[in-house]
């Protein structure tokens, strides 16, 4: 288990900044039209955290600092409540179900936000809508390349697993050996 340094935590703020700007901007614009749009958007975010909490149940980082916090997840703490005293939700099948639901609701929440942002604001403020899309697209690679490498010590977090596979592939392409940072 990796011990996050102060420098790590400061660096982790970099991918968090565009994500926070995306959520603040999107929530503001949706709320300007209808409070119900914001309610649904936030409920989707809560659902993402509920399913992520099932994954966090098997993670050594849950309950403390982890890169998931910079992705605006409260799942690492929710997991302690939902899966109190358990180190795993309930096996590989349950992990896959939680992962699938996390992906569906995660993508669903972004699709929901952009469906309404495009529909409501594209005609009058296309640059604002494109700016929000750019913030989200900027967050994704920053998150993957800054948050995930050290978390690759962890066999639970889905993105850490993906990062391990990518790193292993690029190391073997270059003739090197995969190893944690
Ligand atoms: S590293 Fe990932 S799986 Fe582990 S607690 Fe954080 S968000 Fe959950």
Could you report the per-residue pLDDT of 29-80, keeping only the tens digit for each?
Answer: 999 999 999 999 999 999 999 999 988 888 888 888 888 888 899 999 999 9
- Average pLDDT score over residue span 1-29: 92
pTM score, whole prediction = 0.84
Beta carbons within 8 Å of 17's beta carbon, 6+ residues apart: none
Residue 3 and residue 73: Cα distance in Å, rounded?
19
Going from the Cα of 54 to the center of ligand 1, the distance in angstroms, rounded, reads: 10
- The number of helix segments (H) and strand segments (E) in the chain equals 7, 0
Q: Which residue's alpha carbon is at the smallest distance from atom 2 of ligand 1?
A: 157
Going from the Cα of 69 to the center of ligand 1, the distance in angstroms, rounded, reads: 8
Higher pLDDT, 94 or 126: 126
Residue 89 confidence (pLDDT): 56
Going from the Cα of 134 to the center of ligand 1, the distance in angstroms, rounded, reads: 25
Residues with CB under 6 Å of ligand 1 are 55-56, 59, 61-62, 66-68, 73, 75-76, 151, 154, 156-157
Residue 98 and residue 85: Cα distance in Å, rounded?
19
- Average pLDDT score over residue span 141-165: 79
């Amino acid at each position: 288990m990796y011990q996050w340094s102060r420098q790590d935590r400061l660096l982790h703020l970099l991918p968090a900044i565009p994500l926070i700007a995306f959520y603040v901007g999107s929530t503001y614009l949706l709320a300007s039209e209808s409070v119900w749009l914001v309610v649904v958007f936030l409920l989707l975010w809560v659902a993402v955290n509920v399913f992520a909490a099932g994954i966090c149940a098997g993670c050594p980082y849950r309950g403390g600092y982890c890169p998931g916090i910079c992705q605006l997840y409260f799942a690492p703490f929710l997991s302690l409540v939902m899966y109190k005293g358990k180190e795993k939700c309930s096996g590989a099948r349950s992990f896959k179900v939680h992962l699938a639901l996390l992906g569906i609701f995660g993508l669903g929440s972004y699709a929901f936000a952009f469906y309404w942002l495009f529909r409501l604001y594209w005609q009058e403020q296309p640059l604002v809508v494109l700016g929000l899309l750019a913030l989200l697209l900027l967050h994704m690679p920053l998150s993957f390349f800054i948050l995930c490498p050290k978390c690759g010590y962890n066999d639970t977090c889905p993105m850490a697993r993906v990062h391990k596979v990518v790193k292993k592939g690029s190391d073997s392409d270059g003739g090197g050996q995969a190893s944690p940072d």
